């Protein structure tokens, strides 16, 4: 059946995307949206935007900022409505039918975008406005929108010959399908592995919470009386950290480390090889030697040399630290009855042993104090202390899944800031990891602020066996991190949505999330939210001291595995040859070049490197986390220097100078305005214990 026929069958008038939402806060009516509604809505949304673009082109008046640049910015309202919902749910609540729709949409949306960016008459009008920019009376934000619009078209191929434009269309269409396939393959591989344990002795070392989750998972799969472990983090990581069975740890670790690299129909090696080749072709068409050069030209780093230079500053001290950690683990192994060499699959197990030995603290001791709801209230308390913002649960809005909750945020003066959906637990239709996204971005319409609708999606340890969801310290940190992204979107006060919130260079966006992590384990905040889920006792000062003392332990491993992945990303995207590569050989060469020790794998190996091969979010940009961490460590140092980590004056400056401004100015200019000078790398090295 054609899409047009599907539209007729589904009924245009009962399709929620064809009109304004009649819901509280105008949130998507999830309770009324059916799978059959998506394709007709996408088709109509593209048709409407194409008509809006044609109206701009056919305008008989001379091109102006209002009738060309602003008109283009405001186009595509319906397409945006359906796009936000569909692609957010494909990530968080997909199913085979949704996946098929996504496959059909990938080339359609690529063609639609290229039809706009490669429209010669439209670009002629944009260029006419851009060329007279110095004579126009525009606000700072309008100037930035004009600059970005012109740059987007140039980077989208507007200046290419007709032949090159057609080639670019082909490359973009093929890339869109490959990126989608990579993610689908990875999710399938992640879901397919199941470690079923029948002998209770094989559970030795595992905490009761992990055993209970595994028992419930097995029962849900019809394996009552057994224990099921998967490659989802809440199941995988405790097993690697605590299970005494070395062969089983190795089995689950190898399954994780070889996802989509098993020579089956879900193998991503050929997918990656073609993606990399096509990206080189795209870069060459647009006048760049490498894809990294193309990407970084629009980032703070500007070029690959600057990225490698920053990575090298941190690599040597991190590698030395990691080698000392490996030596310490090997010494612990040598003290035992069995003699063997430390492997990557052993690392987390022996790191946990050493942490307990040296600092007398482990995650299982801490988890009772990190009840999910308490951590959430701790974040709310922090935001209120810093900014005066309060949160109230919105019980009258439709939810896209029964596990989701929603909160309304109000400013200190009572003004409504926006909504935040939160979706915390793993399930088969949700990809791994944690992320923040939008169902609606902030903007102004007819002089009134349109508030954002934000979503936080995580994969935290679920409630089990009568106990509530109790988070590990890593999960607590993740929650704070993603909420930092949410604040960036929530505080946004920009005229145009393409400049609002997190629409900033990728090597700046992580600063506002990572700075939130700094507060997670500060004693002053722990005393307000870290309460035992059974006794309501505040976390003891002794435990807080142990957390602080242990904070630097394992930083060699954490830094090295992250930097190795950043290097791998860059090494793929500085390639100049469009021939298909041997993916596994390139990965080995990349890691050999930086002398990565065999006991550590890069945080993401090629075939499951979702950040760079399943979207256009972080390719040639995974370095962004450490680049942004230089900024966040330097920024948090401002709070520390006041002697008050809740200092309202510093927080207000951070909000006014950066959080509210989105991408309306150059990122470093916003940062300098807040900081009063250039950032220093010293606070980062100190935090990671790499001085």
Are 45 and 75 in a shared domain? yes
Residue 560: which pLDDT band, with cuts at 50, 70 and 90? very high
Token pair 């793929």 is found at 572
Domain membership of residue 169 (yes or no) is no
Are 16 and 59 in a shared domain? yes
**Overall number of domains in the chain:** 4
Helix or strand (DSSP H, E) at 308: helix 304-334
Q: How far apart are CA 618 and CA 604, in angstroms?
A: 13
Helix or strand (DSSP H, E) at 250: helix 246-257
* Orientation of helix 269-285 relative to helix 583-593, angle to 10°: 80
Q: How far apart are CA 186 and CA 88, in angstroms?
A: 17
Report the pLDDT value the prediction gives residue 1, as an integer from 0 to 100: 43
DSSP 656: I
Give the residue from 595, 621, 647 where a domain finishes: 621
Q: Is the pTM of this model over 0.85?
A: yes
Are 394 and 433 in a shared domain? yes
Residues 6+ apart with CB under 8 A from 267: 185, 260, 261, 607
Residue 3: which pLDDT band, with cuts at 50, 70 and 90? very low
Catalytic residue among 52, 441, 482, 599: 482
CATH code of the domain covering residue 310? 1.10.1370.10
Are 308 and 390 in a shared domain? no
Residue 2: which pLDDT band, with cuts at 50, 70 and 90? very low
Encode 66-105: b = buried (16+ Cβ within 10 Å), e = exposed: ebbbbbbbebbebbebbbbbbbbbbbbbbeeebbebbeeb
Residue 5: which pLDDT band, with cuts at 50, 70 and 90? very low
Are 21 and 98 in a shared domain? yes
**559 token code pair:** 């830094």
Give the residue from 203, 222, 257 where a domain finishes: 257
Give 91-144 pLDDT, tens digit per residue.
999 999 999 999 999 999 999 999 999 999 999 999 999 999 999 999 999 999
Domain membership of residue 548 (yes or no) is no
Report the pLDDT value the prediction gives residue 41, as an integer from 0 to 100: 97
Domain membership of residue 551 (yes or no) is no
Answer whether 472's CB lies under 8 Å from 363's CB. yes
Q: How far apart are CA 691 and CA 686, in angstroms?
A: 6
Q: How far apart are CA 19 and CA 649, in angstroms?
A: 43
335 catalytic? Reply is: no
Residue 12: which pLDDT band, with cuts at 50, 70 and 90? low
Domain membership of residue 165 (yes or no) is no
Domain membership of residue 25 (yes or no) is yes
Give the residue-averaged pLDDT of 184-190: 96
Are 356 and 379 in a shared domain? no
**Structural domain span for residue 27:** 3-159
Report the pLDDT value the prediction gives residue 11, as an integer from 0 to 100: 54
Are 535 and 656 in a shared domain? yes
């Amino acid at each position: 059946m054609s899409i047009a026929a599907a539209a007729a069958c589904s009924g245009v008038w009962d399709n929620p995307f064809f009109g304004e939402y009649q819901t509280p806060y105008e949130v998507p009516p999830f309770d009324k949206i059916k799978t059959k509604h998506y394709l007709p809505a996408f088709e109509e949304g593209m048709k409407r935007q194409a008509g809006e673009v044609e109206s701009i082109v056919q305008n008989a008046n001379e091109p102006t900022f209002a009738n060309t640049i602003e008109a283009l910015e405001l186009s595509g309202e319906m397409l945006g409505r359906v796009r936000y919902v569909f692609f957010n749910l494909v990530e968080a609540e997909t199913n085979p039918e949704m996946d098929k729709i996504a496959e059909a949409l990938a080339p359609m949306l690529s063609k639609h975008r290229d039809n706009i960016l490669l429209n010669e008459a439209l670009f002629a009008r944009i260029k006419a406005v851009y060329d007279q920019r110095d004579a126009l009376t525009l606000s700072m934000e309008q100037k930035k929108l004009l600059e970005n619009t012109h740059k987007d078209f140039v980077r989208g191929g507007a200046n290419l010959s007709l032949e090159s434009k057609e080639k670019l269309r082909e490359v973009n269409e093929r890339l869109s399908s490959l990126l989608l396939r990579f993610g689908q393959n990875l999710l399938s591989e992640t879901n397919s592995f199941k470690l079923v344990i029948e002998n209770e002795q094989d559970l030795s070392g595992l905490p009761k919470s992990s055993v209970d989750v595994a028992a419930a998972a097995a029962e849900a799969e019809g394996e009552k009386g057994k224990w099921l472990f998967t490659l989802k983090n809440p199941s995988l990581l405790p097993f690697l950290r605590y299970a005494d069975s070395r062969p089983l740890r190795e089995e689950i670790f190898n399954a994780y480390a070889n996802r989509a690299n098993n020579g089956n129909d879900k193998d991503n090696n050929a997918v990656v090889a073609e993606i990399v080749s096509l990206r080189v072709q795209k870069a060459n068409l647009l006048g760049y030697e490498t894809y990294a050069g193309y990407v970084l030209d629009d980032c703070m780093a500007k070029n690959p040399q600057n990225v490698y230079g920053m990575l090298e500053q941190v690599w040597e001290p991190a590698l030395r630290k990691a080698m000392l950690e490996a030596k310490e683990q090997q010494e612990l192994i040598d003290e035992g009855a069995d003699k063997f060499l430390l492997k990557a699959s052993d690392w987390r197990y022996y790191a946990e042993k050493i942490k307990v030995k040296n600092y007398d603290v482990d995650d299982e001791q801490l988890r009772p104090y990190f009840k999910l709801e308490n951590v959430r209230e701790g974040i709310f308390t922090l935001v209120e202390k810093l900014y005066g913002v309060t949160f109230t649960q919105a019980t009258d809005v439709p939810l896209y899944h029964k596990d989701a909750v929603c909160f309304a945020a109000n400013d200190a003066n009572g003004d409504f800031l926006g909504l935040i959906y939160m979706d915390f637990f793993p399930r088969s239709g949700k990809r791994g990891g944690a992320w923040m996204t939008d169902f609606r971005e902030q903007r102004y319409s007819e002089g009134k602020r349109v508030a954002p609708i934000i979503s936080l999606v995580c994969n935290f340890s679920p409630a089990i066996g009568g106990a509530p969801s109790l988070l590990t310290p890593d999960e607590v940190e993740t929650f704070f991190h993603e909420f930092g992204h949410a604040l960036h979107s929530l505080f946004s006060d920009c005229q145009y949505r393409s400049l609002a919130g997190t629409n900033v260079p990728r090597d700046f966006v992580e600063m506002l999330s990572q700075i939130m992590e700094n507060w997670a384990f500060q004693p002053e905040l722990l005393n307000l939210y870290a309460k035992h889920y059974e006794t309501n006792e505040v976390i003891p000062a002794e435990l807080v001291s142990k957390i602080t003392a242990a904070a630097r332990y394992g930083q060699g491993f954490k830094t090295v595995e992250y930097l190795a992945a950043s290097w791998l990303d860059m090494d793929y995207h500085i390639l100049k040859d469009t021939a298909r590569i041997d993916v596994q050989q390139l990965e080995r060469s990349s890691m050999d070049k930086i002398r990565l020790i065999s006991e550590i794998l890069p945080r993401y190996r090629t075939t499951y490197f979702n950040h760079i091969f399943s979207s256009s979010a972080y390719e040639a940009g995974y370095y962004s986390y450490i680049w942004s961490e230089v900024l966040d460590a330097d920024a948090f140092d401002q709070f520390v220097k006041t002697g008050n980590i809740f200092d309202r004056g510093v927080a207000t400056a951070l909000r006014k100078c950066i959080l509210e401004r989105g991408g309306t100015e150059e990122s470093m200019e916003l940062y300098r305005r807040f900081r009063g000078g250039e950032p220093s790398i010293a606070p980062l090295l100190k935090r990671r214990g790499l001085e």
